[in-house]
Amino acid sequence: METSPDGRFTILIPAYNHAAQIAAVVARARSLGLPVCVIDDGSTDATAARLEEIVGVAVLRHETNRGKGAAILTGFDALAGRADWAVTLDADGQHDPNDIPGMIRAIPAGSRPIVVGRREGMIGADVPWTSRFGRKFSNFWVRAAGGPVLSDTQSGLRIYPLPEAARLGVRARRFQFEVEILVRAHWRGIPVIEAPVGVSYTPGMKRVSHFRPFVDFCRNAETFGRLIALRILRFPGRGGPRPTSDEG
């Protein structure tokens, strides 16, 4: 496990049916010299076969698809006692792993924040409308739920402190995990900061997205409704609860 002045960092890549991109994403991540762990979340395409061809990378696998949040938590569990920070990187190729060192440098000395990669260039014509709308929607409701005020609550390029992030009692197991963990971290007094990163929506690039507008809208509504209810009903007027482990 590599060690930096700020602790031990490992890159986690949750993947689901990303056979076309996974080898290139892993190769770019490995170029940083940090350990890499891929969580294959029950892929039904050739993702598992592509991963078998890669040497020097830890691979964990869910037999069935359980969701991005579940994959990240599996990675957290695997790193228990072996890493101080988990860097999550999406498997679809939209992020540049070379942004990770800058995110690490953004961590204030002596602090243990969650660092969210604030994607730049999200207004271009090649950026899907679902990504632009989803970011604004999510930013608003994270704040309404008593979470931090951020400009990109949906970015998958993040740094999580361990074991703190694994102990927040997040209930969501799919995409909603990434917004719920920000809210719960803020409730617990864990800082959440942003650092600028690039994003690639190259014209003609085959990008796999598992976003389903209606289904994911309903799941988002359930997650935010639950968080807002916890904030208002259990701790009115206090800006958000300090959840206990039995809420997870």
pLDDT digits (tens, 9 = 90+) for 142-200: 999 999 999 999 999 999 999 999 999 999 999 899 999 999 999 999 999 999 999 87
Q: What is the pLDDT of residues 12-40, one digit of tens each?
A: 999 999 999 999 999 999 999 999 999 99
CA 174 vs CA 22, 83, 216: distances in Å: 20, 24, 9
Are 204 and 126 in contact, with CB atoms under 8 Å apart? no
Report the alpha-carbon distance of residue 114 to residue 109 in Å, rounded. 14
3-class DSSP state of 161: strand
User: Which of the two residues, 217 and 101, has the higher pLDDT score?
Assistant: 101
Structural tokens at position 233: 């009903």
- Chain centroid to CA 156: 4
- Per-residue pLDDT, 216: 66
Local confidence band at 243 (pLDDT 50, 70, 90 cut-offs): very low
Residue 82's CB is within 10 A of a number of other CB atoms, namely 12
Peptide bond before residue 163 is cis, with ω within 30 degrees of 0: yes
Q: Which CATH number fits domain 9-247: 3.40.50.12780, 3.20.20.150, 3.90.550.10, 3.40.50.300?
A: 3.90.550.10
CB-count exposure of residue 115 (10 Å: 0-12, 13-18, 19+): buried
Are 201 and 125 in contact, with CB atoms under 8 Å apart? no
> So where are the chain's domains?
9-247
Structural tokens at position 34: 């940090």
